[in-house]
Amino acid sequence: MLAPIAWGTTYVTVTELLPTGRPLLVAALRVGPAAVVLLMVARFTSWWKPHGRDWWQTAVLATFNFGAFFPLLTVAVYRLPGGVAAAAGGLQPLLVSVLSWPATGRRPQRLELAVGAIAAIGVAMVVVRPGAGIDLLGVLAACGANLSFAVGVVLTKRFAPPTSRLAATGWQLAIGAAMLAPLALVVEGRPPTLDAGNIAGLAYLSIVGTGVAFLLWFNGVLHLPANAPPLLGLAAPVTGAALGWALLGQELSPLQLSGLVITLTAIAYGGSLRPWAGHSRRRRRRTRQSSVRDCRLRHRRTVRRRSGRGGRRARPVTVRFR
């Protein structure tokens, strides 16, 4: 929950403190310092470096989690006022449920799809205000950002976890910065002069909103079922709407308050999920039954093999199966 809450502060930070019209520069400066800090800390605590196939897995995760996600998200924030960019984040539970099917063979249940659809409606009710500007390029960027992030969640669950989550997050951020920095120079040119407000906003967004937040996020993804993190991630648009009300003077209508209740209910449902819930419990029961059958077959073969040696009958063995 702490990671999405930190991401929810992105909307206020980008619009109020960071330079306008430089989404690629903001994305590069967001991941670069965070990568340096995490790798320096990991060097003295729990060092890990990719080897062999770990390199391409880390590069793939960095592409979806940072290299493609951050530029698209920043473009959406700049071009979609009124919280429409945050509304697209409500699609993540549905996207993760659908993408988990071809990637991991896990077929989404009807309850998951229903909760995902209700959560998307609740988020839209919270953040979309009357008269909000709808820009086609901004909408496409928001949808692409959430699709990229959903793929990152699914692949994080699929790939083998590294021995050091701190170092692995730092390497992903470093690869993402290596992708974004040249692209920002080519597309947007030389960076402008940064004032004190820009530096403060970038420092907070890089260290807290990126480095610490993604470290917590990846650790949570590994310990939760695949459909739980996207529902908990709905705390980001709710936090953005709450900060808009508290800091920018944006009023919350009765419709938005109703959507807030719906979204918080979906978040509570995501927090109650366990890795062995629902269909997984039935799968565990089937796995236990098949394991018992395999143990019995191996025991019978062992008794027969021992009884055939030297014409002596093997001593009977009593085995209890639970």
CB atoms near residue 153 (< 10 Å) = 24
pTM score of the predicted model: 0.72
Phi, psi (degrees; rounded to nearest 5) at 133: -70, 135
Helix runs in the chain, H state only = 2-8, 10-17, 23-44, 53-62, 69-79, 84-87, 92-104, 110-127, 136-158, 165-188, 196-206, 213-223, 228-232, 235-247, 254-272, 279-307
Q: Has residue 7 got a pLDDT over 90? A: no
Q: How far apart are the first and last CA of the chain?
A: 38
**195 burial type by CB count under 10 A (0-12 exposed, 13-18 middle, 19+ buried):** exposed
pLDDT band at 180 (very low <50, low <70, confident <90, very high): very high
Per residue in 13-68, pLDDT tens? Answer: 887 888 887 888 888 998 999 999 999 999 988 889 998 889 999 999 999 999 99
Q: Is 188:24 a contact under the CB 8 Å cutoff?
A: yes
Confidence label for 287 from pLDDT (cuts 50, 70 and 90)? very low
Query: So what's the pLDDT on residue 295?
Result: 59
